């Protein structure tokens, strides 16, 4: 596996003012999985500071997609509910989300860098569910709140 991503992201981390805890997580990442775990823990800060850059993320896009980080992806009604946190960059289309009963999970979405997305409920769960959508940087989100799923949008 090419670890060029590691040097690029380390260089970017050193170039921005980054808190000590997040810096330790990013700089100690040995694998893509470690990097994604750190990214998800600091998603709010990372998206506010455009870290890592879109170029760096595009280099590893196919590797991070299975872990819930999507870059330049078009959704066609896929259900996203297995990961606790999803981070979406420059994505389009429709996503279905809600309570994943077997996984006991309600996902949180961080949406940035020009996304144009529609969210709709993934299906009835018998419980009222609120799915948080944190929307950054010029992204557009529409929601369909029929049924027992409510999408709560937070503009950042």
Within 10 angstroms of residue 78's Cβ, the number of other Cβ atoms is: 15
Residue 135 has pLDDT above 50, yes or no: yes
Give the pLDDT band (50/70/90) at residue 1.
very low
> If you average pLDDT over residues 134-148, what whole number do you get?
90
Please tell me the least confidently modeled range out of 15-29, 31-45, 46-60, 142-156. 15-29
pLDDT tens digits, one per residue of 63-105? 999 999 999 999 999 999 999 999 999 999 999 999 998 989 9
pTM of the model: 0.92
Instruction: Look up tokens 């690029």; give the residue.
Output: 8
Q: Mean pLDDT, the chain, as a whole number?
A: 89
32 closest CA partner among 8, 67, 58:
67
């Amino acid at each position: 596996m090419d670890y060029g991503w590691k040097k690029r992201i380390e260089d970017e981390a050193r170039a921005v003012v980054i808190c000590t805890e997040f810096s330790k997580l990013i700089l100690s990442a040995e694998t893509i999985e470690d990097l994604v775990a750190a990214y998800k823990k600091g998603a709010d800060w990372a998206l506010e500071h455009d870290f890592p850059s879109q170029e760096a993320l595009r280099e590893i896009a196919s590797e991070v997609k299975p872990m819930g980080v999507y870059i330049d992806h078009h959704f066609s009604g896929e259900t996203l509910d297995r990961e606790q946190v999803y981070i979406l960059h420059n994505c389009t289309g429709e996503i279905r989300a809600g309570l994943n009963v077997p996984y006991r999970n309600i996902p949180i979405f961080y949406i940035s860098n020009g996304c144009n997305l529609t969210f709709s409920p993934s299906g009835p769960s018998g419980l009222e569910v609120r799915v948080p959508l944190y929307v950054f940087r010029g992204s557009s989100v529409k929601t369909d709140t029929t049924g027992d799923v409510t999408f709560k949008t937070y503009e950042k």
